[in-house]
Amino acid sequence: MAIRNIVKKGDDVLRKKSKEVKEINDKIRDLFEDMKETMYGCGNGIGLAAPQVGILKRMIVIDVGEGLMEIINPVILEQEGEQLEVEGCLSIPGVYGEVKRPERIVVEYTNLDGERVKVEGRDLLARCLSHEIDHLDGILFTDKVVRYVELEEEKE
């Protein structure tokens, strides 16, 4: 397992549409392990989509502090309400801005056991799901930003 390089904005791969995962095999499991390590390795990451490590597959890892979610082939079933909060992206370091996202979102996805399951997210989880699913369609938060903000970078 390994920490992978995070693709930065400007690389074409971030603008492409990712492909559905057809079969859950060792390659997929290994990629999730790497994505997990890469996200946690960043310290401040709460989500990472496969295109951000250069792989155009519909796979996401999320951990907003409620445990790790490994998400395959997500589909948004419902979204409602609106929230305007500051977000950033591991592929766009040092850039932060306010983005409108749904306040509540219901996503259906395949888990690593191959089952289709549903998750309901509100607030931060709703925002994170929306942000990461956008990555699978080549959309970056800077495409939707309402207002950029200056944030003090956390220095170790």
Provide the binding-site residues for Ni ion, judged by CB under 5 A.
89
Query: Which strands, in side-by-side order, build the sheet including 69-80?
Result: 47-49, 59-62, 69-80, 104-110, 116-122
For 55-113, where are the E strands, in sequence order?
59-62, 69-80, 83-87, 96-101, 104-110
- Of the candidates 81, 84, 91, 83, the one whose C-alpha atom is nearest the C-alpha of residue 132 is 91
Around Cβ 56, how many Cβ atoms within 10 Å? Answer: 15
Q: Which is nearer to Ni ion, 35 or 89 (CB)?
A: 89
Q: How far is the CB of 114 from Ni ion (least distance, A)?
A: 26
Characterise 114 by phi-psi region: left (phi > 0), alpha (psi -120 to 50), beta (else).
Answer: left
Q: Which is nearer to Ni ion, 24 or 138 (CB)?
A: 138
Q: How far is the CB of 26 from Ni ion (least distance, A)?
A: 26
132 given a catalytic annotation: yes
State the residue number with the nearest CB to Ni ion: 89
Is the Cβ–Cβ distance between 21 and 55 less than 8 Å?
A: no
Q: How far is the CB of 115 from Ni ion (least distance, A)?
A: 26
Q: How far is the CB of 45 from Ni ion (least distance, A)?
A: 9
Given the residues 132, 150, 152, 156, the one annotated as active site: 132
Q: Which is nearer to Ni ion, 54 or 116 (CB)?
A: 54
Q: Which is nearer to Ni ion, 27 or 84 (CB)?
A: 84
So which residues are the catalytic ones? 132
